[in-house]
């Protein structure tokens, strides 16, 4: 049976300057620039669709880099924050362009802000809650709904497709928020 080598961890948990964190920082910077691009160009653009695919995919790339080179506590906080800022920036501009309604976006926004506050509070107990399998699907559903909103063929008569996909993302977002709180409380109680 062949022995599989563990990747060599270059960065320790307290490292701040890492390739994964650099990519996360680029995503944080890209969020307002991308939102400005949406507001300026409008949501019906192949360019915005391609850029969104790249931005959404970069989340997986920085996760891969972190697992390969060493996860950090700063990355564990900044990566989900970058995801939330990128998603909320895109959603807010899509609401202002009347692609999405404000109710699903507010529901997602409340959950994401609440989870950021919750994560910050439980970090005092030195508790870190890893993303569940369903939470990863939640992120994918949000990214997919937003990507479909930029996809030019889904405008006009087909605009209902990204709207229904957004409601699916809302359901997953709310459910995983409750799941996250329950998991966090259980971890705190065990400590």
- pLDDT score for 13: 63
**Contact (Cβ atoms closer than 8 angstroms) between residue 187 and residue 132:** no
The angle formed by the CA atoms of residues 182, 188 and 191, to the nearest 5 degrees, is: 145
How many domains in the chain? 1
- pLDDT score for 116: 84
Q: What is the CATH classification number for the domain harbouring 28?
A: 1.20.120.1760
Count the alpha carbons within 13 Å of 105 in the hemisphere toward its beta carbon.
Answer: 20
Distance CA 113, CA 123 (A): 16
- pLDDT score for 100: 94
Q: How far is CA 105 from the centre of its chain?
A: 14
Residue 144 belongs to a domain: yes
**Contact (Cβ atoms closer than 8 angstroms) between residue 20 and residue 65:** yes
Residue 169 belongs to a domain: yes
Report the SS3 class of residue 34.
helix
Residue 157 belongs to a domain: yes
Residue 2 belongs to a domain: no
**Contact (Cβ atoms closer than 8 angstroms) between residue 66 and residue 10:** no
Instruction: Look up residue 112 and give its two tokens.
Output: 């994401």
* pTM score of the predicted model: 0.85
Residue 115 belongs to a domain: yes
Run means of pLDDT, 10 residues per run, the chain, 191 residues: 60 71 89 89 87 89 78 76 91 92 96 88 77 87 94 84 95 94 84 71
> By residue range, what is the domain housing residue 78?
19-184
């Amino acid at each position: 049976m062949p022995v599989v080598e563990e990747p060599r961890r270059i960065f320790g948990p307290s490292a701040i300057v890492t390739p994964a964190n650099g990519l996360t920082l680029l995503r944080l910077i890209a969020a307002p620039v991308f939102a400005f691009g949406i507001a300026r160009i409008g949501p019906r653009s192949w360019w915005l669709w391609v850029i969104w695919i790249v931005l959404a995919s970069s989340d997986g790339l920085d996760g891969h880099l972190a697992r390969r080179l060493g996860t950090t506590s700063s990355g564990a906080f900044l990566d989900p924050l970058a995801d939330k800022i990128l998603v909320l920036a895109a959603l807010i501009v899509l609401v202002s362009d009347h692609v999405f309604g404000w109710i699903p976006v507010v529901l997602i926004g409340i959950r994401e802000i609440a989870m950021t506050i919750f994560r910050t509070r439980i970090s005092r107990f030195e508790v870190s809650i890893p993303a569940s399998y369903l939470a990863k699907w939640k992120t994918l559903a949000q990214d997919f709904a937003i990507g479909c909103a930029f996809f030019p063929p889904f405008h006009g008569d087909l605009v209902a497709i990204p709207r229904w996909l957004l409601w699916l993302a809302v359901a997953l977002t709310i459910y995983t928020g409750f799941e996250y709180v329950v998991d966090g409380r259980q971890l705190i109680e065990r400590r």
